[in-house]
Amino acid sequence: MVSNKAGSAAATISPVKRRKKEGMWKQVFKRLMKDRAAMIGLIGVAVIILISICAPILTSYSPEEMDLTRLNSGPSWEHPMGTDALGRDYMSRLFYGGRYSLVLGISSSFLSVLIGIIIGSIAGYFGNWVDNIIMRLCDIIQAIPGVMISIIISLALGTGYWVTIAALAIGGCSHGIRMTRAQVLSVRKSEYLDAARTVNCGSIRIMFKHILPNTMSPMLLDFTMRIANMIQFSAGLSVIGLGVQAPTPEWGAMLSAGRNVIRTYPHLVMFPGLFIFAISFFINLFGDGLRDALDPKLKK
């Protein structure tokens, strides 16, 4: 009789234990899968990535192949998105250009968030004069718009693909520094950190093994939302003569190259603009869903 009661009690408790053992990221993934808008965004981003990766299969033209008999021709069966001023197939350049734009957006976002994590962790953990110096420097940087800082860096270092990545990353790092610092300050006095100190854990080990894993959710969201902004900022730099420049088949550079003939050959601006709009829209859809999935208030 006692064994039956124990068995029924174990059967009652086991589902609760299973729910407790379920990790945070598994719960986030489940909530994300239930968000239809987030899934549409994820599928849209995946499709654009696949188009960029499979560009040699999807197009029969090289992005550098010129046809001088078809300069600035409009969309046709042979060239579905027309050609540019040198007779190059525009669809091919857009598909290959996705590689440059996506890598630029991801790399600059990752570098910006990484700088924010490292410097923000130092400011939040050590505090005192270290925190004051870093925060005052952030105040100076944030007094200047991030785009303006990127323009200054591009003017100083010149145009180019990797220079643009560095300029965008440095121009947007101050927000990540403040966000990481706030997260570190919120957990710095926790009991598990006191326990780590009692077993002689060093400051670097405590920061990177105990503090940062518990503050990664907002940084992951920040990284996701930055990608679309970086692609848009890159296009803006290209339009004013900085950033990535022709002949690199990057969407911002293509948009810049067609801006002077927008009235006579609108397809040179319309198609790159649509691709930039599409990737920004899908990333923002996914980012909104990820934000809701990571929100502790939505946990059941």
pLDDT tens digits for range 234-293? 888 887 777 777 777 888 888 888 888 888 888 888 999 999 999 999 998 998 888 877
What pLDDT score was predicted for residue 248?
78
What pLDDT score was predicted for residue 2?
45
* DSSP result, 180-217: HHHHHHHHTT-HHHHHHHHTT--HHHIIIIIIGGGSHH
Span 185-207, pLDDT tens digits: 877 777 666 676 676 676 677 77
Contacts of residue 74, Cβ cutoff 8 Å, sequence gap at least 6: 82, 265, 267
State the average pLDDT for the chain.
Answer: 80
Mean pLDDT calculated for residue range 34-52: 91
Lowest mean pLDDT among 4-8, 42-46, 101-105, 150-154: 4-8
Q: 46-62+83-298 sits in which CATH class? A: mainly alpha
What pLDDT score was predicted for residue 24?
66
Higher-pLDDT residue of 195, 111? 111
Span 65-107, pLDDT tens digits: 888 888 888 888 888 898 888 889 899 999 998 888 899 889 9
What pLDDT score was predicted for residue 300?
47
CA triple 269-270-271, angle to 5 deg: 100
| pLDDT higher than 60, residue 149 | yes
Whole-angstrom Cα distance, residue 45 to residue 283? 7
